[in-house]
């Protein structure tokens, strides 16, 4: 994987949605505009970490390469070199897929 040209800050995590297989229901192909946004993503980069009340940085519970579930409408989409990513807070990550 090529190095991404963005470094998240704070408790933000850069993720890339994993491609979903084409949805077919009853022999009808669902157009992209009607599909639900995928919630499964891969962690691409981690921010600098969240500071607690004492100013200490707390470690992330995820690591680069983890497959995670993210909140459907959380985060901000960014486009870098024609690739769509999403910047989410660690709190928007619902779980790690094992």
Please indicate, yes or no, if residue 81 is contained in any of the structural domains: yes
Q: Using an 8 Å Cβ cutoff, are 15 and 43 in contact? A: yes
**Residue 31 covered by a domain:** yes
Residue 5 domain-assigned (yes or no):
no
Q: Which domain CATH number covers 30?
A: 2.30.33.40
The answer as to whether 3 is a domain residue is no
Per-residue pLDDT in tens (0 to 9) along the chain, 98 residues? 557 788 999 999 999 988 765 555 566 766 655 556 658 999 999 999 988 889 899 889 999 999 999 988 889 999 988 889 999 999 999 999 98
Q: Residue 2 falls within a domain, yes or no?
A: no
For the chain, the domain total comes to 1
Adjacent-strand bridge partners of 29: 24
Looking up tokens 């995670």 gives 68
Among candidate residues 40, 37, 33, 46, the one with its CA nearest the CA of residue 16: 40
Q: Domain for residue 66, yes or no?
A: yes
Q: In which domain, by residue range, is 84 found?
A: 12-96
């Amino acid at each position: 994987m090529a190095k991404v040209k963005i470094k998240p800050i704070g408790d933000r995590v850069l993720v890339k949605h994993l491609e979903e297989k084409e949805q077919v229901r009853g022999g009808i192909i669902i157009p992209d505009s009607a599909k639900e946004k995928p919630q499964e993503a891969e962690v691409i980069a981690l921010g600098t970490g969240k500071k607690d009340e004492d100013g200490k940085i707390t470690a992330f519970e995820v690591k680069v390469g983890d497959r995670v579930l993210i909140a459907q409408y959380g985060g901000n989409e960014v486009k870098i070199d024609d690739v769509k990513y999403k910047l989410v807070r660690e709190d928007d990550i619902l779980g790690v897929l094992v």
